[in-house]
Amino acid sequence: MPELFHKPVLLKEVLEVMAVHPTGRYGDGTVGGAGHARAILEASSPTGWLYGCDRDGVALQAAIHKLSSFAGRFELRQGNYADLADWIEPGSLDGLLLDLGISSLQLGEAARGFSLVEEGPLDMRMDPTRGMTAADLVNTASAEELARIFWQYGGEEKSRRIAKAIEHDRPFQTTRQLAQLIERICPRGGRKTHPATQVFQALRIAVNDEIGSLKRGLAGAVKVLRPGGRLAVITFHSSEDRVVKEFGRQLSRGYEIEGDVDVPELRKPVPPQLKILTRKAIKPTEAEMRDNPRSRSAQLRAFEKV
């Protein structure tokens, strides 16, 4: 059984905003290395319950092994957190966590195709048994579509130049082939981060439909939480955070907009569904960022179901 060397991000803050307590029922939509899941089960002892899922079957089996000391107090399934509402009873959870970061296991396994450092197939699927790969995407999409993906999901300023070079030089089969192309176009120039970092991030998001899953998962979270239940979401880049922030704003304001423009005359009153608990996103402390550099871009937002 693989062991996950995983440091859960913003762990203390997650337990606080979710108000984890004994006998509570909780969900972890992205179990990954099981760091948060273990802490939730510990904090909800002796009888708290945890539902969890992950798209990655290898990570899920490792998580089951890691949580074995809590046998009888959790149920884990392989699947997308966007579908949690399909198998968790509506209104049953006291808290739900969505930690949207990629796991250390996935980054460290070259064969998964997430890593810029190790040579591997250009794959990037969270569930390697289904869907298109990153190679499928970069070898078939138009330069215009690739540029949109790189800009929208990665904030890559040279998205058009990179996309045109990919279209000219394809096909690509490995991570190193693509990373080396981008490095030729955008030399590192003393930067600590690899110049292909944002492109790889954008491809991963597109391949796994991460923004679509996030929107569906947030809607499902409202269904499975009981009144007073807490939702905690950890994001790692601006496109995710914008979705979460807008979701909370819409469901907490107490009205709907008829049309595309928000003007008072066109507002339709509706009961608010959420209360925003974090007016500003919670970020890691300096100490946590030193201890876990991967936490530096994490942001935590929390909401309570009305």
Asked if the model's pLDDT at residue 81 lies above 80, the reply is: yes
290 part of a folded domain: yes
For the segment 212-219, the average pLDDT, to the nearest whole number, is 97
State the total domains in the chain. Answer: 2
Task: Examine the domain organization and report whether 68 and 17 are in the same domain.
Answer: yes
What pLDDT digit, counting tens, does each position of 142-159 carry?
999 999 999 999 999 999
pLDDT number for residue 107:
62
d(CA 212, CA 193): 27
Q: Choose one of 172, 207, 242: the last residue of a domain.
A: 207
pLDDT band at 232 (very low <50, low <70, confident <90, very high): very high
**What range defines the domain where residue 200 resides?**
127-207
Residue 127, SS3 per DSSP:
coil
| Chain segment 178-204, per-residue pLDDT in tens | 999 999 999 987 788 899 999 999 999
Q: Is the peptide bond before 46 cis (omega within 30 degrees of 0)?
A: yes
Q: What's the whole-number average pLDDT of the chain?
A: 92
Whether residues 295 and 270 fall in one domain: yes
Is the confidence at residue 237, as pLDDT, over 50?
yes
Q: 222 and 101: one domain?
A: yes
CA atoms within 13 A on the CB side of 269: 0
* Dihedral pair phi/psi, residue 191, rounded to 5°: -70, 145
Same domain, 144 and 223: no
Does residue 106 come out as left (phi exceeding 0), alpha (psi in the -120 to 50 range) or beta? alpha
Neighbour-count burial of 114, counting CB atoms closer than 10 A to its CB (0-12 exposed, 13-18 middle, 19+ buried) = buried
Is 103 a residue whose pLDDT tops 90? Answer: no
β 74-78/93-99 pair status? unpaired
Looking at the structure, do residues 218 and 140 belong to the same domain, yes or no?
Answer: no
One domain, residues 46 and 131: no
Give the tens place of pLDDT for each residue, 242-253.
999 999 999 999
Question: Do 185 and 300 share a domain, yes or no?
Answer: no
- Say if residue 200 is in the same domain as residue 255: no
- The reported pTM is 0.91
Q: Look-up: residue for tokens 């679509």?
A: 212
